A and B are shown apart, each in its own frame.
Chain A
Amino acid sequence: MKILERPLLKNKTNATGILLFIVLGVLPFAAAFIYALLYSFGLVGVISSGFTTEFWVSVIKTGSFFKSLGYSAAIAGIAVFLSVVIALWLTLKFKSALENKFILMMVYMPLAIPGLATAFFIIQLLAKGGFLSRISYASRLINESNEFPDLVNDNLALGIILAFLTMIIPFFMLLFLNVYKNERIEDLRILAYSLGATSRQVRNKVVLPILLKKTRVLIALYFIFLLGSYEVPLILGQESPQMISVLVIQELKQYDLDKIPEGYVVAVMYTIVVAIAAVFLFLPRKREQYV
């Protein structure tokens, strides 16, 4: 009897879990997506006047979505790439120092600062009227504030990338430190050395492949997270092109009420792109190493 009850109980628990996940996670999202889809085709909305593809045509024609998506992807890609490289270097270079609780706490600290505050710090520090500009003026490096280089609301999105770096380098450092310990990379390193590998071989063939393969999903997820970030590009970005979330909100809040569905078009297109990326990301791999 007991043998029969256990799988039944387990199945019930599983079914409840799945049901809860669907009700709380999938259903609201699916309803919101379909609502946005209907809105984008003029089928719902206070001033909608029936099915139309004009909003889709308009968004595709102006190309602002694709420009924004490319711009967002470039910024997120550069920020993630630089963060991973810097975090890897810092972790491997200072891993024994990072054992110290105080230093570890200092690494944790930036994670507690919200993106909005980071963006304001960057403005205070790097704007033409900011702290560094004033120091440069006081020390006669520049003659007026306009000579200070453009580091915020700038063409190259330097301010945004810098804010992202300060936010995610600590995260990746802690991640790499944990993987380093959990995967016993130190032992594997010693083993490789004892088998005659050079320092370069140990780094390139043992340490980096393990660290990167174990964290690749999180790195990719962080890329998606940065792709859709809002507060930092809102404060530090320029008016055109804009990162995708800023564009969506701008379209949704525009004064011309007849064009609000264009905001939903952008939101739907962005959701589809991210969903496709996520499917590729979580597709079962043929071969999983180091498991």
Chain B
Amino acid sequence: MTKLIQYLTLLFLALLSASCGSDTKRTTLDLENTDWETLVNSTSGKTVNFMMWQGSPVINEYINNYVVPTVKERYGINLQISGGQGPEIVQLVIGEKQAGIAQGQVDMVWINGETFFQLRKLDGLWGPFVDKLPNSKYINFEDPFISVDFQQPVNYMESPWSISQFALFTDTLQVANPPKNLEELERFVKENPGTFTISNDFTGMTLLKSFMAELGGSPKSLDGKFDQEKYDRLSAKLWDFINRNKKYFWKSGETFPKEQTKMKQLFASGELKIAYGYGEGGIEENVRSGLFPNTVKGYAWDNGTIKNSNYLGILQNAPQKAAAMQVINFLISPEAQLKKASPESMNANMVLDIDRLPEAYQKLYAKTKTRKYGPSMDDLKEHVIQEPAPEYMIKLYEDFRTAVIEK
């Protein structure tokens, strides 16, 4: 029995030390000495694991029925999709780093600036690699909405995939003159109690950033590095605005929807009269699928809404970095981006600079059908805010809980 206890203690300690290991072995690809042709010639037959948000049927359709078969057919790459966004990706990276896993489960990820900030902090991204992709020549890296992600220079550590702007939307049949600034919003919620809310997620916090910029006095008021004093001053005004009006919000402001999909359901069922989202509101697919009536229209906020890009990154411990580069190069190809831009597909703005495209693609792009319901980025260009530093979002998340939800 004593021996049994000794063995068990040893086994326990071994398990514990294995679980606490933090030494991460890295495999590096010698890109400096490898040309693109050699690199991609080695990718046939490889399996690339792509972790992405799978909450939209049109995005899933684009990936599963267009991207996956095309990369298989052209490059022999098996692209496998797994569900997960910001926090899941960060948790995965933290877990694998702690366990010292050199060959991770996931190769490439779809991220935004906040996750980019966290992954950089964890040293979880591999790169720089974007400048090695032949199709990156079509991207205008001079554009600050592309080269700067949440006020952080991208430095070729992540490849832009889409660019979009945040917008609000309403059913014009029910609300002829929707609120376009905080003063009007205050009036609107008092006249239409229970029909507005703030989702407690990335989308809701993005709206709060736009509100904060308005309280700061201009679309540029949150530009630059994170400023604690500015945050304290503007967030105090923001919480005051929300707390004095939340009794007129959905469920009297006693709770808030956990995520934007829930908010969109509430809008579809008529509980909410105003909602919002990225992709210039993201209403086109919902109207086309019949979730929203065709009287729903997106509109601009007077002081502006956030415009940003979303990106594709390769994880530090990705087993198939070269194949992941090949897939990303395809995703930013004029062909794949044009397909993605169609309102009948993902309806996402091209991240490529149209003027840099070959003439044939420019002609094809000119023929692309325009949106029927959502505003275009061009319609919103006078009302644009650059993504503030990630700390604003991180603090808003925490303080929205303590200063509003738990009050």
Which positions in A face B, CB cutoff 8 Å? 15, 19, 22-23, 27-28, 30-31, 34-35, 38, 44-47, 62, 64, 127-130, 145-146, 150, 153-155, 234, 238-240, 252-257, 259-260
Q: Is B97 a contact partner of A46 (Cβ separation < 8 A)?
A: yes
If A30-B12, A64-B406, A255-B86 are given as contacts, then 14 extra A-B residue pairs at C-beta distance below 8 Å, sorted by A number, are A35-B19, A127-B269, A129-B270, A154-B255, A239-B256, A239-B405, A240-B255, A240-B401, A254-B87, A254-B397, A255-B114, A255-B393, A255-B397, A257-B121
Is B200 interfacial (CB-CB < 8 Å)? yes
Query: Of B122, B254, B269, B401, which one neighbours A46 at CB under 8 angstroms?
Result: B122
Closest chain-A Cβ to B97's Cβ sits at a distance in Å of 5
A-B contact pairs, 21 of them (CB 8 A): A19-B4, A27-B8, A31-B12, A35-B20, A45-B94, A46-B94, A46-B98, A46-B122, A145-B271, A146-B195, A154-B255, A238-B251, A239-B401, A240-B401, A253-B91, A255-B86, A255-B114, A256-B394, A256-B397, A256-B398, A257-B121
Inter-chain CA distance A181–B393, complex, in Å, is: 60
Given the known interface contacts A45-B98, A129-B269, A150-B251, the answer about A252 and B121 at a Cβ–Cβ threshold of 8 Å is: no
Inter-chain CA distance A204–B398, complex, in Å, is: 52
Q: Which residues of A contact B88 (CB under 8 A)?
A: 253
* Contact-residue bracket for chain B: 35 or more
Inter-chain CA distance A260–B98, complex, in Å, is: 14
Q: Which residues of B contact A154 (CB under 8 A)?
A: 251, 255
> Taking CB as reference atom, which chain B residue is nearest A144?
B270
Inter-chain CA distance A238–B12, complex, in Å, is: 40
Closest chain-B Cβ to A275's Cβ sits at a distance in Å of 18
Which positions in B face A, CB cutoff 8 Å? 4, 8, 11-12, 15-16, 19-20, 22, 86-88, 90-91, 94, 97-98, 114, 118, 121-122, 193-195, 200, 251, 254-258, 265-266, 268-271, 393-394, 397-398, 401-402, 405-406
Inter-chain CA distance A118–B402, complex, in Å, is: 31
Q: Which residues of A contact B268 (CB under 8 A)?
A: 129
Inter-chain CA distance A255–B91, complex, in Å, is: 10
Closest chain-B Cβ to A55's Cβ sits at a distance in Å of 14
Q: Is A155 a contact partner of B254 (Cβ separation < 8 A)?
A: yes
Closest chain-A Cβ to B139's Cβ sits at a distance in Å of 28
Q: Which residues of B contact A259 (CB under 8 A)?
A: 398
Q: Which 9 A-B pairs have the closest CB atoms?
A: A129-B269, A238-B255, A253-B87, A146-B194, A31-B15, A240-B405, A240-B406, A239-B405, A239-B255
Q: Which residues of B contact A253 (CB under 8 A)?
A: 87-88, 91
Q: Which residues of A contact B258 (CB under 8 A)?
A: 234, 239
Given the known interface contacts A19-B4, A46-B97, A47-B122, the answer about A35 and B16 at a Cβ–Cβ threshold of 8 Å is: yes
Q: Is A254 a contact partner of B255 (Cβ separation < 8 A)?
A: no
Inter-chain CA distance A19–B11, complex, in Å, is: 12
Q: Which residues of B contact A155 (CB under 8 A)?
A: 254-255
Q: Which residues of B contact A62 (CB under 8 A)?
A: 402
Q: Which residues of A contact B20 (CB under 8 A)?
A: 35, 38, 44
Closest chain-B Cβ to A34's Cβ sits at a distance in Å of 6
Inter-chain CA distance A34–B15, complex, in Å, is: 11
Closest chain-B Cβ to A59's Cβ sits at a distance in Å of 13
Given the known interface contacts A46-B22, A47-B121, A128-B271, the answer about A23 and B11 at a Cβ–Cβ threshold of 8 Å is: yes
Q: Which residues of B contact A35 (CB under 8 A)?
A: 16, 19-20
Inter-chain CA distance A22–B246, complex, in Å, is: 52
Inter-chain CA distance A158–B15, complex, in Å, is: 43
Q: Is A31 a contact partner of B16 (Cβ separation < 8 A)?
A: yes
Inter-chain CA distance A158–B110, complex, in Å, is: 38
Given the known interface contacts A30-B12, A64-B406, A238-B254, the answer about A255 and B98 at a Cβ–Cβ threshold of 8 Å is: no
Q: Is B271 a contact partner of A255 (Cβ separation < 8 A)?
A: no
Q: Which residues of A contact B97 (CB under 8 A)?
A: 46
Q: Is A128 a contact partner of B16 (Cβ separation < 8 A)?
A: no
Inter-chain CA distance A2–B8, complex, in Å, is: 32
Given the known interface contacts A15-B4, A64-B406, A128-B269, the answer about A257 and B90 at a Cβ–Cβ threshold of 8 Å is: yes
Inter-chain CA distance A22–B266, complex, in Å, is: 49
Q: Is B15 a contact partner of A22 (Cβ separation < 8 A)?
A: no
Q: Which residues of A contact B118 (CB under 8 A)?
A: 255, 257
Closest chain-B Cβ to A135's Cβ sits at a distance in Å of 14
Q: Which residues of A contact B194 (CB under 8 A)?
A: 146
Closest chain-B Cβ to A68's Cβ sits at a distance in Å of 11
Q: Is A129 a contact partner of B393 (Cβ separation < 8 A)?
A: no
Inter-chain CA distance A259–B200, complex, in Å, is: 18
Q: Which residues of B contact A238 (CB under 8 A)?
A: 251, 254-255
Closest chain-B Cβ to A101's Cβ sits at a distance in Å of 40
> Taking CB as reference atom, which chain B residue is nearest A30?
B12
Inter-chain CA distance A238–B404, complex, in Å, is: 13
